[in-house]
Amino acid sequence: MSLILQQAVSLKSCNAFGVDARAAWFARIRDPSELQQLRDDPRLRALPWYILGAGSNTLFAGDFPGLVVNVGVAGIAEAGARDGARLLRVGASESWPALVESLVRGGRPGLENLALIPGSVGAAVVQNIGAYGLELAERLHSVEVWEAATGKVRTLGVEECGLGYRDSIFKRAAGGIRVILQVTLRLPIQWQPLMGYAELARELAALAHPAPIDVFHAVCALRRRKLPDPAQLGNVGSFFKNPIVSRGQHQELLTRHPSLVSYPMAGGRFKLAAGWLIEACGLRGVVRGAAGVYERQALVLVNHGGASGREILALAREVQETVAARFGVHLEPEAVIV
Ligand code: NAP
């Protein structure tokens, strides 16, 4: 098979916002030798690269003047067991929500709190996805990455991935271009439900001993109620991260706004619910041109049809400025803006 490299490609069908940006160059790669070919191509040498999975967390604010690399590495295989967990090696382009569902239904639970999160398995690592009290970091063993600096594939243990709150080394430019090809997950052999989030506990309240499939259905039901389906309404899930503030700032905010929604964190800091801050500014459901703040969950920005990346970005900036003016808190985007 020869490398598929194209010029002036529309990215409309490759991003969950459905914005019609163009990439100067676009390649779909299936193995490291194709990445090598791209690295050695003199036409591409001076250009920036952007690694794209399913486009579920990317806002293309305009055309991309460089090379978009779309990873097409599939496959799911057992990889033994270690430290009370079974290991599973998964190609980076496998669908995350399909993987979670097939594992739960196939009797290999452990990811069900992360059900229905759109995107690819590789992107799940980039973003260190999290929901309902579980972060991917807790279920990740290692990743195999191709590094442009050396042209080699290297295995990084979970501790080398720099995973933080919706963050990893793969979101940062330092260290050069890295392409995730394979992800090895660790699934607990002794399964226990994780029901620390009040909404999830409420959804499962009728069951004395919920099974993995019950947790899976509960998470799916909660998400479907609150979140728009990107196939119907362009969106990338939460657009902003929940801000973390000091104890002093938290106390001050609570005095001024007694209904503030917040959660204590390790180290005496507090996490604020960004959705609550946006809603308190009266921005839930606002529409600017074809871009909007979703009416059922203010943390989600949506494309009502035909919005440009620039329009969505302008709305994101309006949200940031309004929240900063009212609460003195900066909302950092969770989505990657290109
Ligand atoms: P929610 O239940 O309305 O809660 C608002 C925020 O409070 C959440 O963002 C969550 O933070 C935090 N929270 C709730 N219960 C908590 C607890 N027991 N301990 C610590 N923090 C708590 O939130 P939601 O919007 O419906 O989302 C529910 C879950 O799905 C959250 O975990 C959220 O992160 C996840 N989710 C993620 C995306 C995405 O695109 N990344 C989209 C939708 C939902 P955390 O976000 O830190 O968990």
Q: What is the pLDDT of residues 8-64, one digit of tens each?
A: 999 999 999 999 999 999 999 999 999 999 999 999 989 999 999 989 999 999 999
Where is the domain boundary, 173, 206, 225? 225
Pairwise CA distance, residues 9 & 31, whole Å:
21
Residue 11 and residue 36 share a domain? yes
List ligand 1's pocket residues with C-beta within 6 A. Answer: 130-132, 196-199, 226-227, 237-238, 242, 263, 271, 273, 275, 297, 299, 334
Q: Do the Cβ atoms of 38 and 3 come closer than 8 Å?
A: yes
Which among 116, 117, 224, 242 is the best mutation to test ligand 1's pocket, defined by most ligand atoms within 8 Å of the CB?
242
CATH of the domain at 191: 3.30.465.10
Considering only CA atoms, which residue is closest to atom 5 of ligand 1? 273
Please state, in angstroms and as integers, the Cα–Cα distance from residue 175 to each residue in 17, 122, 124, following that order.
Answer: 29, 18, 20
Where is the domain boundary, 182, 208, 225? 225
Pairwise CA distance, residues 24 & 93, whole Å:
22
Where is the domain boundary, 225, 259, 283? 225
Pairwise CA distance, residues 255 & 307, whole Å:
39
Residue 131 belongs to what domain range? 76-225
- pLDDT at 81 (0 to 100): 94
- pLDDT at 254 (0 to 100): 96
Residue 239 and residue 216 share a domain? no
Which among 194, 197, 239, 294 is the best mutation to test ligand 1's pocket, defined by most ligand atoms within 8 Å of the CB?
197
- DSSP 3-state of 303: strand
Q: Is 334 a catalytic residue?
A: yes
Q: Say which of 34, 101, 112, 334 is annotated catalytic.
A: 334
Residue 82 and residue 56 share a domain? no
Considering only CA atoms, which residue is closest to atom 47 of ligand 1? 242
Please state, in angstroms and as integers, the Cα–Cα distance from residue 323 to each residue in 113, 283, 316, 320, following that order.
Answer: 29, 10, 11, 5
- Ligand 1 centre from 116 Cα, in Å? 14
Strand partners, 9: 23
CATH of the domain at 308: 3.90.78.10
- Ligand 1 centre from 132 Cα, in Å? 6
Q: Select from 182, 131, 124, 126 the least CA-distant residue to 154.
A: 182
Confidence of residue 73 (pLDDT cuts 50, 70, 90): very high
Q: Is 166 a catalytic residue?
A: yes
Residue 145 and residue 96 share a domain? yes
Instruction: Tell me: pLDDT of 175 over 80.
Output: no
Residue 154 and residue 213 share a domain? yes
pLDDT tens for each residue of 209-228: 999 999 999 999 999 999 99
Name the average pLDDT for the chain. 95
- Ligand 1 centre from 131 Cα, in Å? 6
Residue 48 and residue 89 share a domain? no
pLDDT tens for each residue of 286-318: 999 999 999 999 999 999 999 999 999 999 999
Residue 80 and residue 65 share a domain? no
- Ligand 1 centre from 238 Cα, in Å? 9
Pairwise CA distance, residues 143 & 183, whole Å:
4
- Ligand 1 centre from 68 Cα, in Å? 31
Pairwise CA distance, residues 220 & 101, whole Å:
10
Residue 209 and residue 285 share a domain? no
Q: Say which of 108, 166, 178, 223 is annotated catalytic.
A: 166
Considering only CA atoms, which residue is closest to atom 32 of ligand 1? 131
Residue 325 and residue 281 share a domain? yes
Q: Do the Cβ atoms of 108 and 86 come closer than 8 Å?
A: yes
Residue 157 and residue 92 share a domain? yes
Pairwise CA distance, residues 270 & 290, whole Å:
34
How many Cα atoms sit within 13 Å of 334 on the Cβ side?
25
- Residues constituting the chain: 338
- pLDDT at 1 (0 to 100): 65
Residue 273 and residue 192 share a domain? no
67 Cβ contact list (under 8 Å, min separation 6): 23, 24, 25, 26, 27, 38, 44, 47, 48, 49, 50
Q: Select from 137, 90, 109 the least CA-distant residue to 217.
A: 109
Instruction: Tell me: pLDDT of 83 over 80.
Output: yes
Residue 49 and residue 92 share a domain? no
Q: Say which of 93, 120, 142, 238 is annotated catalytic.
A: 238
| Residue 226 Cα: closest atom of ligand 1 | 26
Give the distance, in angstroms, between the CA of residue 257 and the centroid of all CA atoms in the same chain: 30
Please state, in angstroms and as integers, the Cα–Cα distance from residue 182 to each residue in 35, 186, 288, following that order.
Answer: 14, 13, 40
| Residue 196 Cα: closest atom of ligand 1 | 18
| Residue 236 Cα: closest atom of ligand 1 | 40
Considering only CA atoms, which residue is closest to atom 7 of ligand 1? 273
Burial-class residue 264 by CB neighbours within 10 Å (0-12, 13-18, 19+). exposed
- Ligand 1 centre from 25 Cα, in Å? 37
- The token duo for 50 is 């952007």
Task: Give the count of domains, the chain.
Answer: 3
- Average pLDDT in the 77-81 region? 95
